[in-house]
């Protein structure tokens, strides 16, 4: 005849609790990774925006420097002028 294996309810409960704890850890890890991915995506977006605006920043800085030199030259001419 075949042997009957005793049904150990406590072992089953412990195994289920271990599985649930592993699942909770996995879900927490996934949430952490998703948050990190979101942070990295925001940083990448910021870098892309900065890269797009860099030529405009250089152009505006150059125009501001040109205006400053023009103003300084005009003031110098006015001081030396008649």
3-class SS letters over 9-56? HHHHHHHHHHHHHHHHHHHHHHHHHHHHHHHHHHHHHHHHHHHHHHHH
Please state, in angstroms and rounded to a whole number, the distance separating the CA atoms of residues 32 and 64: 45
Looking at residue 6, the DSSP 8-state letter turns out to be P
Confidence label for 10 from pLDDT (cuts 50, 70 and 90)? confident
Residue 2 has pLDDT above 80, yes or no: no
The pTM (predicted TM-score) of the whole model is 0.56
Residue 6 has pLDDT above 70, yes or no: no
């Amino acid at each position: 005849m075949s042997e009957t294996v005793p049904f150990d309810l406590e072992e089953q409960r412990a195994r289920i609790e271990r599985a649930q704890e592993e699942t909770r850890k996995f879900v927490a890890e996934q949430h952490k990774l998703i948050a990190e991915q979101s942070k990295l995506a925001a940083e990448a977006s910021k870098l892309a925006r900065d890269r797009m605006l860099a030529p405009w920043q250089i152009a505006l800085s150059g125009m501001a420097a040109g205006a400053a030199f023009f103003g300084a030259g005009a003031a110098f001419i006015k001081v030396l002028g008649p």
